Structure formats: C-alpha cells, structure tokens
Amino acid sequence: MKNFIIKEIPGFRLRVTQKECDSPAGLYSIEFIQEYLNKQKEVVDTSIYNFFLTQEEISSLCENLLA
C-alpha cells in the first residue's frame, strides 16, 4: 500500500492511499482523504473519496493533474 500526504496546512490535510485490489487483477483502490484538524493537529472531521482505477487511468490522472 502506498500512502502519502499531498498537502498539509494549519487546519487541513489531504492524503492519498493506493491499494491493489484482490480482484480483478490490475485494479487499484485510490482514496483521497481530507482531514480537518484542530489547533493541536488532531483530526476533527474526515471526508473520504474512493475511486477504482486501472494503472492506465492512474497514469492519465497524474499526467492531467501535472498539466
């Protein structure tokens, strides 16, 4: 599993996790996790957006985000 932080500022953090699905082969679960933080950097609210993408679709997403 890959897990990384895209953005972290006071009060907010955006993380991404990527896991390969058991079936069908070649499908990945991508989660965008928005975390709202209090002054002590504790998570007070979370929103999770889950997408199932192939490696080709992930590559296309990355290319378009960087464009």
How far is residue 4 from each of residues 24, 57, 58, 61, measured CA to CA in Å? 24, 19, 15, 16
pTM here is 0.82
The model's pLDDT over 14-54, given as tens digits with 9 standing for 90+, comes to 999 999 999 999 999 999 999 999 999 999 999 999 999 99
Q: Which fold has domain 2-66?
A: Nuclear Transport Factor 2; Chain: A, (3.10.450)
The predicted structure's pLDDT at residue 24: 93
* Cis bond before residue 10 (omega within 30° of 0): no
The tally of CA atoms less than 13 A away on the side-chain side of residue 21 is 15
- Taking the C-alpha atoms of residue 24 and residue 49, their distance in angstroms, rounded to an integer, is 20
3-state class (DSSP) for residue 6: strand
